[in-house]
Amino acid sequence: MAADIETSSSSSLQNQYPTIDPTTFDLIVCGTGLPESLLAAASASAAKSVLHVDPNPFYGSHFTSLSLASLSSFLELPSSSLDSSPLPYPPTAAEDSSSYEAVDLRRLRLYSDVETSGNFPEPSKGFLVDLPGPRILYCADAMVDLLLRSGASHHVEFKSVDATLIFWEGKLCAVPDSRQAIFRDRTLGLAEKNQMMKFLKLVQGHIDSDQCGNGGTAEEDGLVRIPADDLEMPFADFLRSKRLPPKIRAMILYAITLADYDQENAESSKKLIVTKDGIESLALYTKSVARFPNALGAFIYPMYGHGELPQAFCRCAAVKGALYVLHMPVCALLFDKETGKYKGVKLASGQDIFSHQVVMDPSFEVSSSISPPNVACEGLNASSLSGRVAKGVCITGSSILPDSSNVLVIFPPKSLYSDQTATIQVLQLSSNVAVCPPGLFVVYLSTPCDDAISGKKHINGAMNALFHITNVDGPVTCHLSTEGSEGENKPALKWSLVYGQELKQASFGAVCSSPMPDENLDYRNILETTKKLFTTMYPEEEFFRKIPAPDNAEDDSSLPE
């Protein structure tokens, strides 16, 4: 990568830390996760001077893709204070001045309750495992548009997700993604198909009326808008009012709009979707289906894993002049003693670097016990933790869905357990996206949870429903029912890892903290938060100025390979 300064992977070789010149930047970014990389690239595109460092010897931070061995090591890193003692280095201006206060940083443990089962399949080096998995992108969502607009699409390729399934009444049912698919679905009766078609026609008419841009001409054009009162009601109530059966409602709510929490019980839902938001997600889904000639469905996945996305934006930032230093921890933040205003950072090398703004990886924390009362860094503490996600990674020897490689599976709330208040999202990937050897599959599972016990219970329940698991008493004979079949043998589970991840919100100010990967399958919330962080830092600047396409650029319809 251009403009990189790569350091030794051994932290003991302190004399190999490079000296950074210049020592003053508009922005310092610590961590190369997707939000941090987006901010670095957008800031560099806006002609800001950017120093981008990462304590890890690899790109991606909490949004990276790792080998199996590296994944286990990363998840089990102990929570410990960073060594804030300066290494042998010439004194800097901050050290000589009594006007600066150095506030030490430490690493917050964001992963816990790690359990593995089985042995690494060989060759274990042939795997790339997403730390933020499971993740997909809508073909027409803002992240894809941003990849195209910024030029980052030149550094990453995509493959289509072949099918979306929903676990309903003990069976895996295909989610129809078009009118033709609805009519081919043998599990739906004629009345249900007619209700579904009528509903889709209503939604499409509302979408078209929004896009016509002529105010009162919608009725003249024969378009029907959904009443304003209906747009503010819970989306599940709106679907019931259209007499859609429970199975179709579940498909729309959890497999198309990708709702995380139970939508059928408005009083207990932690994140209720109103009709307006649901219609927007349906419009996005409809626009995504068959947008690209090589991706007939609504969803795509990046070749070589989601760690390619932050790397693509890091490359864009480097081309614009951002300076990169890997394996370089930030040990302390520098503040003015009188005003408490942020001034800069102290690196593990002992060097002090100054900037107007700093963005910190979410794993960095300032303890309230060591932070002076007048120092404004409230976002860098454990109080910004906002929830928890239970996750699983599995390796199997065959596909969940015969003759399909990359498959999305949704377990709606209460589909496995009565106390299951959130969806369980499952993504199976094959060797055609270059994340595992041929003949094997990587499967990700995720669900929001209140505690590790319930979260891991639900993850293990989904694994038991999908896979053939050998226990201490010997193999269990079991079958997985799919629509239109008498039952197929479940894929054999060869290796699994289950763990918990903390959710940490972004914080704003001269010292910003970027967000952790959230509980969602897509990047819409992450991108909106990142835009807000950029706008807070640079309110007069555009988030990624549009770059002119080169003369030999291909049309955006060729994005997936």
Domain extents in the chain: 4-108+304-384+506-544, 178-212+228-288
CA angle (260, 265, 269) in 5-degree steps: 45
> Could you tell me if 142 and 527 are in contact, meaning their C-beta atoms sit under 8 angstroms apart?
yes
Is the CB of residue 180 less than 8 Å from the CB of residue 422? no
Q: Is 550 helix (H, G, I), strand (E, B) or coil?
A: coil
pLDDT at 82 over 90: no
φ/ψ region of 83 (left if φ > 0, alpha if ψ in -120 to 50, else beta) reads beta
* Per-residue pLDDT tens over the stretch 174-232: 998 777 777 777 777 788 788 888 888 888 888 887 776 544 454 555 567 888 899 99
DSSP letters for 103-164: EE-EE---EEEEEEEE-PPSSGGG--EETT-S--EETTSHHHHHHHHHSGGGG--EEE--EE
Mean pLDDT of the chain: 84
The fold of 4-108+304-384+506-544 is: FAD/NAD(P)-binding domain (3.50.50)
Q: Which helix (H) or strand (E) holds 528?
A: helix 524-537
- Please tell me whether residue 325 adopts helix, strand or coil conformation: strand
Confidence of residue 5 (pLDDT cuts 50, 70, 90): very low
| CA-wise closest residue to 54 among 301, 317, 303 | 317
pLDDT score for 213: 56
Residue 477 pLDDT > 50: no
pLDDT at 476 over 50: no
The DSSP 8-state label assigned to residue 238 in this structure reads: H
Residue with tokens 């990674």: 393
pLDDT of res. 358: 95
Select from 179, 141, 163, 143 the least CA-distant residue to 38. Answer: 143
pLDDT for residue 561: 55
Burial of 65 (0-12, 13-18, 19+ CB in 10 A): buried
pLDDT at 531: 96
Cβ-based neighbours of 356, under 8 Å, separated by 6 or more: 26, 27, 510
Per DSSP bridges, beta strands 50-54 and 323-326 are parallel
How much is the pTM? 0.87
**Residue whose C-alpha is closest to residue 46's, from 556, 551, 535:** 535
Whether 178-212+228-288 and 4-108+304-384+506-544 are alike in CATH topology: the answer is no
490-525 pLDDT, tens digit each: 999 999 999 999 998 888 888 899 999 999 999 999
Out of 56-60, 88-92, 469-473, the most confident range is 56-60
Residue 132 has pLDDT above 60, yes or no: yes
The topology (CATH level 3) of 178-212+228-288 is Guanine Nucleotide Dissociation Inhibitor; domain 1 (1.10.405)
Residue 16: partners with Cβ closer than 8 Å, 6 or more residues away: 7, 8
